[in-house]
Amino acid sequence: MAMSGGIDSSVAAMLLLEQGYELVGVTYRTFDQISKGCMEKEKGCCSVDAIFEAKRLATELGFGHTILDIRKEFHNSVIVDFIDEYLNGRTPNPCVVCNSDIKWGKLIEIADEQGCDYIATGHYARIAQANGRYFLQKGRDEHKDQTYFLWKLSQENLARTLFPLGELTKSEVRQAALDHGFEKLSKKGESQEICFIPDNDYRAFLAEHVDGYAEKYGEGEFVDAQGKVLGKHKGFPNYTIGQRKGLGIALGEPMYVLRLDVENNRVVLGRKEELQTQMCYAKAMNWMKVEDFTDGMEVMAKIRYKSKPGKATLYHEDERVRIVFHEPIDSVTPGQSVVLYQGEDVVGGGVLC
Q: Amino acid letter at 69? A: D
Query: Can you tell me the distance from the alpha carbon of 267 to that of 265, in angstroms, rounded to the nearest whole number?
Result: 7
**Residue 38 annotated as catalytic:** no
46, 98, 116, 280: the catalytic one is 98
* Helix/strand/coil percentages in the chain, nearest 5: 30, 30, 40
**Residue 195 annotated as catalytic:** yes
Contact of 295 with 316, CB cutoff 8 Å:
yes
45, 46, 95, 195: the catalytic one is 195
Contact of 351 with 282, CB cutoff 8 Å:
yes
CA 67 to each of CA 25, 54, 75, 110, 164: distance values in angstroms, whole numbers, following the listed order: 8, 9, 17, 11, 22
Q: What are phi and psi of 102, to 5 degrees?
A: -105, -60
Q: Beta strand 220-223 with 161-162: parallel, antiparallel or unpaired?
A: unpaired
Contact of 232 with 221, CB cutoff 8 Å:
yes
Q: What are phi and psi of 343, to 5 degrees?
A: 65, -125
Which sign does the torsion angle of CA 333, 95, 170, 16 carry? positive
Dihedral (Cα; 123, 126, 152, 76), 10-degree rounding: 20
Q: Hey, which residues are catalytic here?
A: 98, 195
